[in-house]
Amino acid sequence: MIAQKGVVKPIQVSFISTYPPRMCGIGTFARDLAEGVSQFIGEPLGQGEAVRVVALSNRPQGYNYGPEVQFEIQAQQRDDYKKAADFLNLSDTDVVCLQHEYGIFGGEDGNYILHLLDNLTRPVVTTLHTVLKEPTPGQHETLKAVCNSSTFVVVMAQKAVEMLVDIYGIPREKILLIYHGAPDVPFLDPAYTKDQFQAAGRQVILTFGLLSPNKGIEVAIEAVSQLVDKYPDVLYIVLGATHPEVKRRYGEEYRLSLERMVKHKGLGDNVIFYDRFVSLKQLIRFLVAADIYLTPYHSKEQITSGTLTYALACGKAIVSTPYWYAEELLADGRGVLVPFRDPEAMAAALDRLLGNPAERDALRKRAYQFGRQMVWNQVAGAYLTLFQRATQQRRRSTVGWRIRKQTDEWHSLPEVKLDHLRLLTDDTGIYQHALFTVPDRRYGYTTDDNARAVVVAVRNWELFKDDDVIPLLKRYLSFVHYAFDKESGRVRNFMAYDRRFIEKIGSEDSHGRTLWGLGEAVAAAPTKEILGFTTQLFQLALPACTSFTAPRAWAYSILGIIAYLKRFGGDREAQRIGTELSERLWKTFLDNATPDWPWNEEIVTYGNARLPQALIVASNFLGNERMRETGLTALRWLLDVQTNEQEGCLSIIGNNGWFPRGGTRARFDQQPIEAAALIDACYEAYKATQEPEWGDAIELCFDWFLGQNDVHQALVDLHTGGCRDGLHAAGVNQNQGSESTLSWLLALQRRHKLLHERHFASGKEKS
């Protein structure tokens, strides 16, 4: 039953979505639905409390929203989701309507939205704008958790209902099909508005929507080129601005390629691009003017399309590729389907309709009649009925991959803040040192720190998909590239503030760290350009490590090589060198370790945990269980000798004397780089064994940063995201240099990743 105007029980609804003026199809949908609901309730949108919006922003300065937007979430700020839940819980909201699409939320696979849902006390109706047939494990668990936390789930195609049941295990009774909404437009002759576009007397084909490479416009242009001899007056209008995310990453590369194609084919009089984000009123004029609406999309896995819905509801003759939503909406003679990427078939279908007005009109009428159920007042009425049902049904308590007793752990874990990292970074790279929190230019830069910064930047992008970190990543990669000397095949390490390297060849360790940074960047490159750059530089820098004699240089090289092989597993040279270095490192343990000193050297110095970490990682790569046990044994011993027996906190081997075999370990100066390396190593041990002891060890090492240490003082500055340079007997070193700050960020990122994986594993067990 659909609610009727005038008989709607008063209800207060809050929408969570992107929202205009941000250019986003989901935001437009949310605005139109909110307006439809407001009209039913009888309260103009933005002039009362019945309909409110929580808007997702992708930029710190936000947007100039209308008065209906009463709360704004910065998508990449995890705490904002908890604050939004608190805001909604304290409001008069009866029901929350969430618009879900992975990419609009922060976190891995958009999982930050789960922090909001987990703390919300109101029933939730979620509209799914994407349902994937072959999701990644993270996408699967995130969507399943969203659905389980929702009272009802709305989809826009029957195909999505079946996939949610069969693939995601969502109960059929909580899934409802409500079609995408569309404006209520009279059934008008296309000639009615053609003169407004200087198209009077011409046959018009229209495609509209935000432009991106998956829209297949190049196929449509090729099809039009095959029609112009027979229909010289045909006009193909491509309406819509380039998608803002595509434009931000790639500029207008796609649109310019299309314009070049039009020019090359001599179609300047037959193809027009309107590069703008038009108002609804303008859009309707374009739609009315079209004789044929064309969607040449490439992807089969498209479960909804607002543009296709609009065209159908306006009574257009439609030609489309057979993506899921089009197959469903255009069934029973409501449109014509043509194969993907087949301009000949598309041209044949367009030819048939252009040359047969009677068939075209029959398609139009069937489309318009079916589309009457999609006009916004019908859709809004269906949603209101569902909202009323949701308020009467107790919200389900299933929590997907989350365990409620772990919720506080999410909120007690600090945010990954890059403020101090940005302060330490100039247009050359990251400074080596700081005086308190002020960058100290006297000591310039090192490749060591810039290579570590590459790892921090790429891991940050991998965790949060926040593109704001990409310029930082490019800056650090640029430094590393400049540090590489092609003649020697080695990197230089120390650079003065005047951008002159003060050595011809850097240390083996600095080269190993460079390979580590490049390998991680290859494995998780955020763009194809960065992937190409880092792959090429990694391959140039790789051969030198075979001549190294330092075990830590081997270890860093191994970590970089195996990260690189995650992307390019078939690279035989990288396989060979990785195997050779792993066996060399392992042999130093076999030759020197004893039961009471399971270490490969006569003194334990710096960067210690990277050695067992490399063995553990390499053992997985090589399938060598004995190598893994060697690494695990050494790592357990490192933790044991670095634990304060009286207080049970981490007590790192200090720089002031290290720990010689048969001697006494130095208690100070304790360095953050050691705690970060231990966390990374324990993370790899946890992944390899799934033994809880390694998770506990990570928490032990992580708490060292927060004050659980020998002097009971925190090293971390949670306000800036910086970290102090070390522990002395008299307290912490107040300077916040790059090595310490990068070490803290590496540790915090690993902690975030582990926590997500633990929750993810819990969800798999529950489901």
pLDDT in tens, 524-577: 999 999 999 999 999 999 999 999 999 999 999 999 999 999 999 999 999 999
* Cis? peptide before 571, omega within 30° of 0: no
Q: Which of 59-68, 338-347, 485-494 has the least mean pLDDT?
A: 59-68
Q: How far apart are CA 350 and CA 557, in angstroms?
A: 58
Q: Which residues contact 22 (CB under 8 A, 6 or more apart)?
A: 55, 57, 58, 63, 244
pLDDT of 44 higher than 70: yes
Q: Tokens representing 45?
A: 């949108």
The string of DSSP codes covering 605-640 is -SSTTHHHHHHHHHHHHHT-HHHHHHHHHHHHHHHH
How far lies 67's CA from each of 64, 70, 200, 482, in Å?
9, 7, 41, 51
E strands, 147-232, where?
Answer: 152-155, 175-177, 204-208
Q: 86, 72, 153: which is closest to 116 by C-alpha? A: 86
Q: Which pLDDT belongs to residue 578?
A: 97
Q: Which pLDDT belongs to residue 412?
A: 65
pLDDT of 466 higher than 90: no
Q: How far apart are CA 729 and CA 752, in angstroms?
A: 31
Most distant CA pair in the chain, distance:
96
647-656 mean pLDDT = 95
Q: How far apart are CA 506 and CA 485, in angstroms?
A: 10
Q: How far apart are CA 395 and CA 389, in angstroms?
A: 11
pLDDT of 396 higher than 50: no
Instruction: Identify whether the C-beta of residue 123 lies closer than 8 Å to the C-beta of residue 390.
Output: yes
pLDDT of 260 higher than 90: yes
Same fold, 13-181+377-405 and 191-373: yes
Q: 103, 120, 111, 55: which is closest to 78 by C-alpha? A: 111
Instruction: Considering only residues 393 and 631, tell me which one the structure prediction assigns the higher pLDDT.
Output: 631
- The DSSP symbol for 103 reads G
Q: 53, 43, 130: which is closest to 88 by C-alpha? A: 53
- The percent of residues in the chain predicted with pLDDT above 90, rounded, is 83
Q: 120, 173, 110, 116: which is closest to 143 by C-alpha? A: 110
Q: Which pLDDT belongs to residue 251?
A: 83
Q: Which pLDDT belongs to residue 196?
A: 86
Q: Which pLDDT belongs to residue 407?
A: 44
Q: Tokens representing 213?
A: 């490479």
Instruction: Identify whether the C-beta of residue 185 lies closer than 8 Å to the C-beta of residue 169.
Output: no
> End-to-end CA distance of the chain, in Å?
33
Q: Which pLDDT belongs to residue 249?
A: 76
Q: 623, 582, 613: which is closest to 697 by C-alpha? A: 613
pLDDT of 406 higher than 80: no
The string of DSSP codes covering 565-584 is HHH-TT-HHHHHHHHHHHHH
Amino acid at 369: Q
What contacts 24+ positions apart, CB below 8 Å, involve 743-746? 743/452, 743/671, 743/672, 743/673, 743/675, 743/676, 744/672, 744/676, 744/705, 744/715, 744/716, 745/416, 745/418, 745/421, 745/456, 745/460, 745/721, 746/452, 746/455, 746/456, 746/459, 746/676, 746/679, 746/680
Band of residue 246 on the pLDDT scale cut at 50, 70, 90: confident
Tell me how far the alpha carbon of residue 608 is from its chain's centroid: 33
- Mean pLDDT (the chain, rounded): 92
pLDDT of 233 higher than 70: yes
Q: What is the CATH number of domain 191-373?
A: 3.40.50.2000
Q: Which pLDDT belongs to residue 392?
A: 85
Q: 330, 254, 319, 259: which is closest to 290 by C-alpha? A: 319
Q: Which pLDDT belongs to residue 400?
A: 35
Q: What angle (nearest 5°) sits at the alpha carbon of residue 349, between those of residues 344 and 351?
A: 90
pTM as predicted: 0.69
Best-predicted range by mean pLDDT among 3-7, 78-82, 140-144? 140-144
Q: Which pLDDT belongs to residue 409?
A: 54
668-691 mean pLDDT = 96
- The percent of residues in the chain predicted with pLDDT above 70, rounded, is 95
- The DSSP symbol for 535 reads H
Tell me how far the alpha carbon of residue 294 is from its chain's centroid: 31
Coil/strand/helix, residue 502: coil
Scored b (16 or more CB within 10 A) or e, 543-556 reads: ebbeebeebbbbbb
Band of residue 8 on the pLDDT scale cut at 50, 70, 90: very low
How many C-alpha atoms does 642 have within 13 Å on its Cβ side? 29
Q: Which of 152-156, 203-207, 463-467 has the least mean pLDDT?
A: 463-467
Element (H, E) at 678: helix 672-689
Band of residue 59 on the pLDDT scale cut at 50, 70, 90: confident
* Dihedral-angle region of residue 65 (phi above 0 means left; psi in -120 to 50 means alpha; beta otherwise): beta
Q: Which residues contact 640 (CB under 8 A, 6 or more apart)?
A: none
The string of DSSP codes covering 328-348 is HHTTTTTSEE--TT-HHHHHH
Band of residue 248 on the pLDDT scale cut at 50, 70, 90: confident
Q: Which fold has domain 413-766?
A: Glycosyltransferase (1.50.10)
420-447 mean pLDDT = 97
CATH of 13-181+377-405, one of 3.40.640.10, 3.40.50.2000, 3.20.20.70, 1.10.3230.20: 3.40.50.2000
Q: Which of 297-301, 400-404, 656-660 has the least mean pLDDT?
A: 400-404
Q: How far apart are CA 164 and CA 144, in angstroms?
A: 9
Domain ranges (residues) in the chain: 13-181+377-405, 191-373, 413-766
